[in-house]
């Protein structure tokens, strides 16, 4: 039995109303249910909610969960940026704040907070001892993070935590970053990415570079912006005239700060093993920022159950069939070739045979309505629902993509394989078949072993140069519309070793899709 666009809801409702009856076992979950959970991130939502319950342990969990869902802030930036003096971490943190519309928290701006008794205590202590006690600093951080703007828009900690003690305090309070970064590769090498914050970025560079860089640092007292006499000098004369040399940048003072930093950082980083990114800071600031932004916009791999529904798009000869076969072989996905399904329907004399055969005899295109009936019959089978599928050969244009979507078959990974005409012509026009044995050859990659065999080889008329060019033109005429429809599609260079292409496809399936920046 096939289904149309309106049948999905009826099937789901029937399964829900009748599926709990023990006499109807074994139960089959309709394909719409996992698709809904995946599209709405139900697993991640429940995981985040349970995580918050265990961290905060509210007396009344129900109102707490309702409040958590209403906040809708599971994916706001929560970033820690660490690095030695002069590594550029403050500049990167400020740029990230502007780009992500988030809040920057540093020791300086936490102490400068008005109408806060904790900030006043921190200022008094800093004026006297040139440092802020760990307990007081973390209480300041906790107070600031509880404010509405941090709850709604997230936060970036610049240079905090400074010690292992502070890192443990932060974790104990349930302050969990999503990304932690370190600036400059440290001598001990990168640690695996950690568990407490969600993102940690650590900048790293040789001490000699940092000491020399620090000597050129200049501060704008009005805006707090940091400039440099060599690398980042402001073009406006007004700003140039008011710049001042900040305190504590002499060679001796910088060396002392570096010594203290190296003593502490080796004990901080193990606190963030799974979310740590080390970025070399001895490169242009724009490049450092680009790497940091790419990292914080990445999505951590989810533990949610995932059934791949893969769509491979590309011109004739781009390698779709080979890649589909490799995916089916390694991951057990069902290889669904649209053209092959239609041929099988005719060969098996199925109920669709009489509908398809006239179009085959005329070498005309089979109507989309017939294709969808055959395709839905295959995709609705239990092996496709349980193991996932890899589809190729359909859709070929925007109308077919809309039809596929309206029937409820929504791929969760789409790949476009781009290959230039010359490479495709080389792949296809040199293909030959031995009419005696049925063996297939390629005059360049798999030539026949004897001249006798070569003399009797035949070429499929579809592999003629003119017909290949016509089919390629047809694909690329519709490709732009398909790419616009499948906005999360991944475009790959198909003109390389097939196993290299397969590795890229594997990566695209296993890893979460990158965020699309508006």
pTM above 0.85, yes or no: no
Q: How far is CA 418 from CA 318, 319, 389, 469, 506, in A?
A: 7, 10, 22, 14, 17
Which pLDDT belongs to residue 500?
A: 94
Residues 143 and 280 in one domain: yes
Q: Does 277 map to a domain?
A: yes
Task: State the Cα–Cα distance between residues 346 and 351, nearest whole angstrom.
Answer: 9
Which pLDDT belongs to residue 27?
A: 62
Where residue 184 falls among pLDDT bands split at 50, 70, 90? very low
Looking at the structure of the chain, the number of domains it has is 2
Q: Does 41 map to a domain?
A: no
Residue 11 above 90 pLDDT?
no
- pLDDT by residue (tens digit) across 421-465? 889 888 898 899 999 999 999 898 899 999 999 999 999 888 888
- pLDDT by residue (tens digit) across 464-478? 888 888 888 889 899
Residue 511 above 50 pLDDT?
yes
Which pLDDT belongs to residue 166?
A: 92
Residues 319 and 262 in one domain: no
Distance in Å from the first CA to the final CA of the chain: 42
Average pLDDT, the chain: 85
Q: In which residue are the tokens 């400068």 written?
A: 112
Q: Which of helix, strand or coil describes residue 329?
A: helix
Residue 25 above 50 pLDDT?
yes
Residues 152 and 256 in one domain: yes
- When pLDDT is averaged across residues 401-422 and rounded to a whole number, the result is 93
Residues 321 and 289 in one domain: no
Q: Does 56 map to a domain?
A: no
Which pLDDT belongs to residue 70?
A: 86
Residues 6+ apart with CB under 8 A from 73: 151, 152, 154
Q: Does 459 map to a domain?
A: no
* Lowest-pLDDT range of 49-58, 172-181, 347-356, 492-501: 172-181
Helix (H) or strand (E) holding 151: helix 148-153
Which pLDDT belongs to residue 226?
A: 81
Q: Does 492 map to a domain?
A: yes
Task: State the Cα–Cα distance between residues 121 and 139, nearest whole angstrom.
Answer: 11
- When pLDDT is averaged across residues 399-412 and rounded to a whole number, the result is 93
Residues 323 and 288 in one domain: no
- pLDDT by residue (tens digit) across 319-370? 999 999 999 999 999 999 999 999 999 888 888 888 988 888 888 889 999 9
Where residue 484 falls among pLDDT bands split at 50, 70, 90? very high
* Lowest-pLDDT range of 26-35, 319-328, 477-486: 26-35
**Residue 156: strand pairing partners:** 79, 104
Task: State the Cα–Cα distance between residues 288 and 228, nearest whole angstrom.
Answer: 16
Which pLDDT belongs to residue 466?
A: 85
Which pLDDT belongs to residue 72?
A: 81
In order, the DSSP letters of 392-451 are ES---SHHHHHHHHHTT---SEEEEEE--HHHHHHHHTTEEE-TTT--EEETTTB--SSH
Q: Does 327 map to a domain?
A: yes
Which pLDDT belongs to residue 247?
A: 82
Residues 195 and 334 in one domain: no
| C-alpha torsion 358→322→402→396, nearest 10 | -60
Residues 390 and 279 in one domain: no
Residues 289 and 314 in one domain: no
- pLDDT by residue (tens digit) across 290-307? 998 888 887 777 778 888
Q: Does 132 map to a domain?
A: yes
Look at the alpha carbons of 81, 74, 517, 100 in this order and tell me if their dihedral is positive or negative: negative
Residue 93 sits in a domain of what CATH number? 3.40.50.300
**Which of 325, 397, 404, 333 minimizes the C-alpha distance to 371?**
404
Percentages (nearest 5) of helix, strand, coil residues in the chain = 50, 15, 35
Residues 278 and 190 in one domain: yes
Percent of the chain having pLDDT more than 90?
Answer: 40
Give the domain range for residue 420. 309-339+368-429+464-510
């Amino acid at each position: 039995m096939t289904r149309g666009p309106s049948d999905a809801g009826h099937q789901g409702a029937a399964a829900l109303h009748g599926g709990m009856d023990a006499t109807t076992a074994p139960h089959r979950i309709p394909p719409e249910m996992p698709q809904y959970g995946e599209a709405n991130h139900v697993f991640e939502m429940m995981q985040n909610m349970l995580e918050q319950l265990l961290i905060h342990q509210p007396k009344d969990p129900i109102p707490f969960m309702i409040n958590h869902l209403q906040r809708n802030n599971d994916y706001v930036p929560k970033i820690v940026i660490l690095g030695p003096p002069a590594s550029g971490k403050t500049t990167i943190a400020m740029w990230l704040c502007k780009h992500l519309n988030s809040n920057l928290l540093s020791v300086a701006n936490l102490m400068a907070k008005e109408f806060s008794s904790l900030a006043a205590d921190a200022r008094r202590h800093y004026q006297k001892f040139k440092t802020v006690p760990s307990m007081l600093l973390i209480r300041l951080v906790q107070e600031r993070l509880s404010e509405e703007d941090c709850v709604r828009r997230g936060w970036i900690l610049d240079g905090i935590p400074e010690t292992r003690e502070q890192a443990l305090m932060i974790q104990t309070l349930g302050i969990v970053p999503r990304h932690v970064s370190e600036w400059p590769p440290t001598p001990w090498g990168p640690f695996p990415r950690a568990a407490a914050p969600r993102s940690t970025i650590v900048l790293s560079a040789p001490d000699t570079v940092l000491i020399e860089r620090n000597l050129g640092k200049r501060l704008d007292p009005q805006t707090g912006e940091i400039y440099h006499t060599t690398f980042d000098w402001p073009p406006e004369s007004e700003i140039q005239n008011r710049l001042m040399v900040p305190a504590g940048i002499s060679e001796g003072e910088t060396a002392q700060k570096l010594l203290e930093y190296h003593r502490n950082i080796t004990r901080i980083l193990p606190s963030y093993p799974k979310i740590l990114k080390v970025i070399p800071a001895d490169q242009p600031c724009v490049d450092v920022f680009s790497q940091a932004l790419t990292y914080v916009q990445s999505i951590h791999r989810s533990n949610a159950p995932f059934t791949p529904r893969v769509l491979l798009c590309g011109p004739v000869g781009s390698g779709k069939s080979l890649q589909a076969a490799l995916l089916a072989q390694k991951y057990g996905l069902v290889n669904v070739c649209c053209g092959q399904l239609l041929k099988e329907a005719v060969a098996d004399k199925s109920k669709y045979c009489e509908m398809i055969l006239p179009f085959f005899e005329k070498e005309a295109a089979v109507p989309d309505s017939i294709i969808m009936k055959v395709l839905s019959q295959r995709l609705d089978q239990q092996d496709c629902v349980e193991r996932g599928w890899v589809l190729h050969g359909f859709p070929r244009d925007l109308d077919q993509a809309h039809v596929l979507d309206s029937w409820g078959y929504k791929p969760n990974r789409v790949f476009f394989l781009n290959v230039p005409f010359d490479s495709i012509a080389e792949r296809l026009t040199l293909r030959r078949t031995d009419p005696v044995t049925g063996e297939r050859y390629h005059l360049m990659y798999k030539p026949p072993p004897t001249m006798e065999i070569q003399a009797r080889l035949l070429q499929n008329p579809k592999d003629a140069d003119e017909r290949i060019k016509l089919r390629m033109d047809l694909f690329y005429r519709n490709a732009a519309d398909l790419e616009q429809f499948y906005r999360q599609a991944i475009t790959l260079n198909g003109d390389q070793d097939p196993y290299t292409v397969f590795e890229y496809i594997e990566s695209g399936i296993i890893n979460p899709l990158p965020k699309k920046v508006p």
